[in-house]
Structure 1
Amino acid sequence: MSRIDLNVPFSEKDEAKLLGARWDARSKVWFVPDGTDPRLFQRWLPLEQDIGIRSDSYFLAQTVAMCWKCHELTSLFSFILPPGHETLEINEDSDDGDYWFRHSDPATVSYVTDLPPHVVTQLKAVAPYYRLDFSKTTGSSYWMNHCEQCGMKQGDFEMHCEPGGAFFPMDQHAADRIVLYSYRESFGCNGSASWGDHLSFRMRVA
């Protein structure tokens, strides 16, 4: 069985060591020693699928808005990534290949696909109406919100890309309606990351 290397931030190295992780000084990486259960290190396990966005931690954001179909209030969810998250940048002008770029600002993520299993498990527990579904508008499947009342799909564009959308607050009052649930575990996906001043407003951390 091949060795399992871990993505352990420097600030969490003592915690990983306490759980039994070992440090490979030559490769400068923490790893799971033989005979130790890898599930103890779930939030530091490498992501298996090809992804374009990754982070050592993430927030699940929740707010409430009116369904466009039935006009009833429904809960809506999205991902917000903290400063330090990375996006895979395509390097077409160099032989060095693609590279990971680290961002100093937070970002929201829309049109999400390819979530790792441990993130899906969290979603099923707290956001059952946020699930993978097919969109005729985009001609693709992605994780999207559904109205709690009528089950109608709630598209990502308006809530993420339009000023005043559910996850595009234009003032502190709108930002106050967004609650953040913090998860200290690895995150990865494909999707569309958005940065901007609308993320400078304070949001409530549950």
Structure 2
Amino acid sequence: MLYLNVHFSEKDEAKSKYARWDPEKKKWYATNEKYYYRFSKWIEGESVATNNVYIAVMDRECWKCKNETPVYGFAVRSKGIIDITGETDDIEEYTGFDTVIIPISSNDVPEEVRKYLSESTKCEIRFSKTIKKSYFSNICTHCNTLQGNHFVYDEVDSFTGIETTMLEENPISYIKFKLVNDIPLIYEAGDHIVAPPVKIFDENNIIESGISIE
């Protein structure tokens, strides 16, 4: 089930597309993920996450002190993402990744996930001299230095540039959050594409957070 942002003036149009009304939350919602694309004008994003989302955790050498420090990303299984733009029916086949990892600074990150990171890790809002703005960041546990988004997510041995062979020495663990309802993502299929395909998700390396996201 996916809640929609339907303006009052468009309620009849939403109803004609078989959206349903939740009188308690006073919001329209769609029930069949196969047809989410029909409601794209009321979904704030390019895709939809279903079932579960995760925090991906891996160790990374701090660029400043050179000690190993945990870094975090917001992760969604590719098979749990529905593209509503019509670009692809299979995110994993299209991108080559079995898991999509998004920076924790992204607006895609649910409030519950960001709260967990704030309370359980050193992640916090920090000002970056490089880009001259503040954002929710990974922080070194040893020297308290900001680990920038480019450093954590875009370099060769980091989340989106990682290769399967690297995982043997530096495996990724996943903290699981259950989705009560599906949620929209700004993520657009094709942000990162690799060949040959890369499998980075490990069913045996999951930690249950015990937290459900409404």
Question: Normalising by the residue count of structure 2, what TM-score does the alignment of the two structures yield?
Answer: 0.58
Correspondence for 1:94: none
Amino acid at match of 1:179: S
Structure 2 distance, partners of 1:139, 1:188, is 29
Q: Equivalent residues in 2 for 1:25-40 (5 A)? A: 28-29=18-19, 32-34=22-24
1:125–1:167 distance in 2 versus 1, CA, 3 Å: farther
Residue 112 in 1 paired to residue 105 in 2? yes
Give the deviation of 1:148 after TM superposition.
Answer: 0.8
Amino acid at match of 1:133: R
Correspondence for 1:205: 206
Indicate conservation of the 8 Å contact 2:164/2:199, yes or no. no
Match of 2:174 among 175, 180, 191: 180
Q: Equivalent residues in 2 for 1:145-184 (5 A)? A: 145-165=138-158, 168-174=161-167, 177-184=171-178
Correspondence for 1:3: none
Correspondence for 2:69: 74
Amino acid at match of 1:150: C
Structure 2 distance, partners of 1:145, 1:177, is 18
Indicate conservation of the 8 Å contact 1:7/1:30, yes or no. no
What 5-or-longer segments of structure 1 have no aligned partner? 1-5, 9-24, 39-48, 89-98
Amino acid at match of 1:149: H
Indicate conservation of the 8 Å contact 1:64/1:166, yes or no. no
Structure 2 distance, partners of 1:189, 1:112, is 13
1:125–1:133 distance in 2 versus 1, CA, 3 Å: same
Structure 1 distance, partners of 2:116, 2:72, is 12
Residue 194 in 1 paired to residue 192 in 2? yes
Q: Equivalent residues in 2 for 1:60-139 (5 A)? A: 60-83=55-78, 84-85=80-81, 99=85, 104-105=91-92, 106-110=99-103, 112-114=105-107, 115-126=109-120, 128-139=121-132
Indicate conservation of the 8 Å contact 2:58/2:172, yes or no. yes
Structure 2 distance, partners of 1:100, 1:143, is 31
Structure 2 distance, partners of 1:188, 1:131, is 24
Segments ≥4 residues shifted beyond 3 Å? 25-34, 49-54, 99-103, 186-199
1:138–1:119 distance in 2 versus 1, CA, 3 Å: same
Structure 1 distance, partners of 2:199, 2:128, is 30
What 5-or-longer segments of structure 2 have no aligned partner? 4-14, 28-42, 93-98, 208-214
Indicate conservation of the 8 Å contact 2:164/2:198, yes or no. no
1:111–1:117 distance in 2 versus 1, CA, 3 Å: closer
Correspondence for 1:143: 136
Correspondence for 2:39: none
Indicate conservation of the 8 Å contact 1:161/1:168, yes or no. yes
Q: Secondary structure at the match of 2:105?
A: strand
1:171–1:113 distance in 2 versus 1, CA, 3 Å: closer
Q: Percent identity?
A: 15
Give the stretch that moved more between structures: 193-202 or 152-161. 193-202
1:172–1:181 distance in 2 versus 1, CA, 3 Å: farther
Aligned residues: 165
